[in-house]
A and B are shown apart, each in its own frame.
Chain A
Amino acid sequence: MHENIFKMNEKEYILPGNRSCQGCGLSLAYRYILKALRENTIVAIPPSCLCVLHGLYPTTSTIIPALNTTFASNAASAAGIVAGLNALNKTDITVLALSGDGGTYDIGIQSLSGAAERNTDFIFACYDNEGYMNTGTQRSGATPMGAITTTTPVLTKQEPKKDFLKIMEAHHIPYLATVSPAYPADLYDKFVKAKRIRGTRYIHIDTPCPPGWGYPTRDTIKIGRLAVETGLFILFEIENDRFRFTGRSKTMAERGKLLPLVNYIEKQGRFKKMSIEQLSSLQASVNSRWNECLKRAEG
């Protein structure tokens, strides 16, 4: 259960009036992440929506120490922060690398894999908005099949989304979790927990994006919930290789039945060209993954 939500940190680390878009899933998630990690935290930032959210010199919308780095290097940058702090015997600071899906699945995978293999003592969180949204919605390795992007404008993306969680799981890191800003209590709890664990912790954030996904800005929470309730995005955590459902996914697994994927798809402009075949293929992969998780949770 949510142990921490009742004593949620009241302090705000993102000031009102930042540069993120209206309805931004990242700014919601980031607000709760920083509340959970609190002020003794340093954030590593690649060029991305997060970089924009942090503001343009000489003003910033955040009150958290943050270091910008290049696109490919965010995990290495965080690893350098960790190494530097260790060298100076400052071992009580939480280091968070926060990259988008491009900075995680694509250009950032090498430095992340290296840092995870070394069990670098940091949290790497991926805010997955399923494309290069900061540069104007180009296709990434995280874009789902059937989605229109500005680099798949006519035919839609033909390939399925990369199963990045499997890749991270294969690193056998101490903690791996998924979260959604549509379920802030679950998100908050997982970051509080991650903060207490040593070694590499990977947290995947499903991050609805109104301009990139094509839905009204008021619907970010609705879209985030539908992703979970259709089973497309599953809330879980893996601690020491042990899998367990959490939050809404846990109740869905115990009592509920998944909603049909079309409920999620039909609300987003990016899927307006999705073919019936693509939809059934995506539904089939959602079902198979859900069943796989049900089995793992039993075992």
Chain B
Amino acid sequence: MNDVRIITGNEAAALAVKLAKPGVIAAYPITPQTSLAEKLSEYVEKGELKSEYVRVESEHSSLTVCISASTVGARVFTATSSNGLLYMHEQLHWAAGSRLPVVMCCVNRGVGAPWSIFNDQQDSFSQRDTGWIQIYCRDNQEILDTIIQAYRIAEEVYIPVMVCYDGFILSHTMMPVEIPDSGLIEEFLPPYRPHTILSPDDPKTINPVFFPTRRENSEGILCDGYMEMRYKLQAAFEKSGEVIRNASREWAEITGRDHGGLIWEYMTEDAELILTGMGSIATEATLAADALRDEGIRAGVVGIRAYRPFPKEEVAQAFKKATAIAVFEKCISYGYEGGVCSDLKAAFYGTDIKAPIHDYIAGLGGRDVKTGEIVDAARATLETVGSGDTGNKTIWLNCYKGI
């Protein structure tokens, strides 16, 4: 008998964490992450989850606690949103540089100033280059499944994983979610094996000052310099795509649920017009694709699930036949364009993909993105094909520009 419950995204995340059994949880409250942190404390206080729960005084400390606990050999979890994630920035780099398999949820929310408690993805997008794997979820089931996969991925490649999902749109919205059996988790997720354990049994100074050059140790062996350590992180990222795909495939084999590896596709086989995005806006785009097909336009959707590592081979393949591309994204690199759009263009460089790409900046600070708006925007992109106006554009969707 399958255990299916109607729950919020945050509860789905909490149940996933409970199944992954981290030894240490540290969290600091921030909207819209709070109900996740609360649920986990309830599990711990009721004895349903045996974890050390450290109720820290800041996000900087919550990630620090996870970093140290992971270094002594415990599986760890934390979660945050928005400015909380920004406050962790220094430690995001530290966790990745330490090659620790920390798993964290980022419940996506706009960042200040000015304040917004509502959803967009500027928070995790702005932490793109901290050396974390970022996976964006579409629905509550995917949140649960991805957190379990995240531990498997992180502990295989020793890169921290950020599981991102949209605040309120997913975190506070109830959907049916199937809860996997704990025996199944044990099969999928072996116990955490740290690459280095900080222990009196083998005293080491971890993360000391490195020189620019390689240096000999006391036994005359040439050891890495700072740059070699950085290279190893990049090399692990290059391997991580395969690990993410495998985790997704194996999870699909045992649960029947396949959320895609690095990307997912919806009706792209014959699509002339491809819509793309990350997280719930890409789900919305599938409804738009349906509506466009009703109009006779062959539309499809490519969802970017892993933003780092960026799925460059997958997208070059998936967009191969597109004649027009519409990107919908809830973040921007100020002074240029949305990050997904930039990365797609870079991935297409040197391929035969010459379709115009329109970048729609949408839904910032929780502004509703309606299916109809996506339909109209994508249709307009397609209409530029053959019109002579085939340049790439960045368009702010449903935003009053005060003309």
Which residues of A are in contact with B by a Cβ distance under 8 Å?
39-42, 44-45, 51-52, 54-60, 62-70, 72-73, 76-81, 83-88, 90, 93, 110-111, 113-114, 117-118
Contacts and interface: CB of A to CB of B under 8 A. Distances in A.
A68 B205 CA distance: 7
Nearest to B199: A65
Given A65-B198, A88-B74, A93-B200, A60 B205 contact: yes
A86 B218 contact: no
Interface string B319-333: 000000000000000
B65 A79 contact: yes
A73 B60 contact: yes
Given A65-B204, A68-B206, A81-B71, A117 B218 contact: no
A67 B207 contact: yes
B188 interface: no
B403 interface: no
B24 A111 contact: no
A114 B67 contact: no
Closest 10 CB pairs of A and B: A80-B68, A114-B57, A87-B23, A84-B69, A76-B61, A80-B65, A84-B72, A76-B64, A58-B223, A58-B217
Interface stretch (B48-56, B152-160, B389-397): B48-56
A121 to B, nearest CB: 11
A167 to B, nearest CB: 15
Contact of B64 (A85, A93, A111): A111
Given A58-B217, A83-B69, A42 B200 contact: yes
Choose among B52, B68, B70, B74 the residue with the greatest number of A CB atoms under 10 Å from its CB: B68
B60 A52 contact: no
B200 A80 contact: no
A56 B210 contact: yes
A87 B58 CA distance: 21
B148 interface: no
Interface residues of B, number: 47
Contact of A79 (B54, B73, B210): B54
Contact of A76 (B65, B203, B209, B210): B65
A68 B94 CA distance: 10
B66 A73 contact: no
5 contacts: A57-B224, A59-B218, A66-B205, A70-B91, A83-B69
B215 interface: yes
A200 B23 CA distance: 22
Contact of B67 (A58, A60, A69): A69
Interface string B163-207: 000000000000000000000000000000000001110111111
A57 B69 contact: no
Interface in B206-227: 206-211, 215-218, 221, 223-224
Contacts of A113: 57
Choose among A42, A51, A52, A73 the residue with the greatest number of B CB atoms under 10 Å from its CB: A73
B143 to A, nearest CB: 24
B26 interface: yes
B205 A55 contact: yes
B250 interface: no
A85 B60 contact: no
Given A57-B215, A69-B67, A80-B26, A63 B203 contact: yes
B129 interface: no
Given A57-B210, A76-B65, A83-B26, A88 B72 contact: yes
A90 B197 CA distance: 13
A195 to B, nearest CB: 14
Contacts of A54: 205, 208
A88 B203 CA distance: 18
A113 B207 CA distance: 25
Contacts of B68: 44, 67, 69, 76-81, 83-84
